[in-house]
Each structure stands twice: as structure tokens, then as C-alpha cells.
Amino acid sequence: MQIAFKSDRGKNRAINQDYVSYFVNEAQQSLMIVCDGMGGHKAGDVASEMGVSHLGAAWKGSRFTNSEELSRWLIANIQRVNDLIFQKSLDYSDLDGMGTTLVAAAIVGKEIIIANIGDSRAYVFRNYKLRQITEDHSLVNEFIKSGEITPEEAQHHPRKNILTRSLGVSRKLDIDIMAMPLVQGDMLLLCSDGLTNMMDDEEITQMLKEWLPLEEKVLSLVDKANEAGGLDNITVLLADFTDREGEPVWRQERN
């Protein structure tokens, strides 16, 4: 497996409230996390960094034998991180109301387990086809599911950025957990909505089809999102599941 990731401020934001990183535990099992923070000045980036760093720190001392054990760990530890973020927002008035999305992917054996809260996404690119694994926890996605609007109308909806779930905004938390088998040659994409609001699935697919090193694919996706307007922070993580060994080939957690 090889991993590359980058987080970019984009063209329209004063600070980057996204955060991304990658962790390996005692059993050499991998955890990848993307968070997209929200809140007032400096609050969103505090929430997103807490989401990634606290979950990652807990991961380093873990080991798992099966996907059920891993799923239980993710639920318990994401809840713990949620409580930490929420309590910090209560303790500091300038952090009041902060929160973050979270999408995390962990590997055990030949399975990948994905945890999701909010509208950051996980995709799998398999046999040159891109498939979204997570479901957006957003108001416009509820409108789409009820038939009130089309996916095309959602792209420009005035309430597009309203989330129905997020990490750290209350004690109560509802986490989506999904498990799927890994297939030789799969590529995993984790990203914030700064990518998917600027590029549609077909544009992302065409970029992933390019015969480029993994880190160049990441850079190209970020560059294309910026060329399309760069209206938000942009975070992209790619993991290539092949037989070749490899540490993360390129990383930048926040820019």
C-alpha cells in the first residue's frame, strides 16, 4: 500500500480548517483520517486537528484481529474524541460551537472499515470506476433523498453547507460504519467537500485514470479544484492497494 495526501487552503479562505493524516498501529495496521472543521475564527481548525490527532494517538497503541473488533473500537474512540471537542468548546468561549466532519478508513486483513460523520467523503476507485462509499450527512442530501431537489440542483442550493451530523457539537453522536473487501489494485480516496464541490465524479475519475505517481494525482486533484474556483479548503488523500510495499510517499497535513 502507498499513501499520499495534501491539504490546501484554496483561493477563498483566510485559513485552512481541514486536517488530514495517516497512522500505523502496533500491528502495522493503517488508519487514514480527513476532517473538515467549522466554527468561528480559529475554532474550525482546532476541531479538525483534535479530531485527527486524538483518534490517531489512540490508534497507535491498538491492534485488531477482525473487522467487528475494529468497528467497535472506531465507534468508542470517535465518541471519546467527540466528547473532548465538545468539552473544549464549552471551556473556551472563542471555541463555542466548533465542530468538524470526519471520514476515517482503517485496514484489517483484507477488509477496509470506513467511519463517517458529515459531508467529507470516501470513494473507491476499482476497475477504472469511481464509487462513493459514504453518504453525506447534509440538508441537501436529505432533500435529494425525499425527491424535493435533484443532485444537479443540490450543487447550487443556498443551504448546501448545512450539516445534519458533525463531530463535537453535542454529546449525542451517530456514526456511519461500513465494511468492504479490498481488491488488488483498488484505490481509496478520502476528501473534504472542497474537492467535490469543485469537481464532479467524472472529472475525478478522469484524473485517477491518469498514469501518474500517486503524489502527482493528489497534487493534480488539488490543482484542478483550485482552477475551478478553490472556494473552500481542499483536502485529498489517496491510498493505492497493490502488492508493492511502501510508506506514505508524500504528505502535507495543512497548508
pLDDT tens digits along 118-170: 999 999 999 999 999 999 998 888 888 888 887 777 777 777 778 999 999 99
Mean pLDDT of the chain: 92
- The CATH number of whichever domain residue 206 belongs to comes to 3.60.40.10
pLDDT in the model for residue 248: 47
Give the residue-averaged pLDDT of 35-44: 87
Residue with the bigger pLDDT between 57 and 161: it is 57
The cell for 233 is 479548503
pTM, rounded to two decimals:
0.93
* Integer Cα distance of 107 and 31 in angstroms: 7
Q: Is 255 a member of any domain?
A: no
Q: Is 164 a member of any domain?
A: yes
pLDDT tens track for 61-100: 999 999 999 999 999 999 999 999 999 999 999 999 999 9
Q: Which domain holds residue 229?
A: 2-250
Q: Is 87 a member of any domain?
A: yes
**Bridging pattern class, strands 250-252 and 2-8:** parallel
Q: Band of the pLDDT at 251, cuts 50, 70, 90?
A: low
Total domains in the chain come to: 1
Q: Is 47 a member of any domain?
A: yes
Residues 6+ apart with CB under 8 A from 211: none
Give Cα separations from 39 to 15, 43, 94, 100, 223 (angstroms).
12, 5, 9, 9, 26
Cβ atoms of residues 134 and 116 within 8 Å: yes
- Which residue pairs from 84-90 have beta carbons closer than 8 angstroms and sit at least 24 positions apart in sequence? 84/50, 84/54, 84/168, 85/47, 85/50, 85/51, 85/167, 85/168, 86/168, 86/169, 86/170, 86/171, 88/46, 88/50, 89/39, 89/43, 89/47, 89/168, 89/169
Q: Is 227 a member of any domain?
A: yes
pLDDT in the model for residue 38: 94
Q: Band of the pLDDT at 178, cuts 50, 70, 90?
A: very high
Q: Is 139 a member of any domain?
A: yes
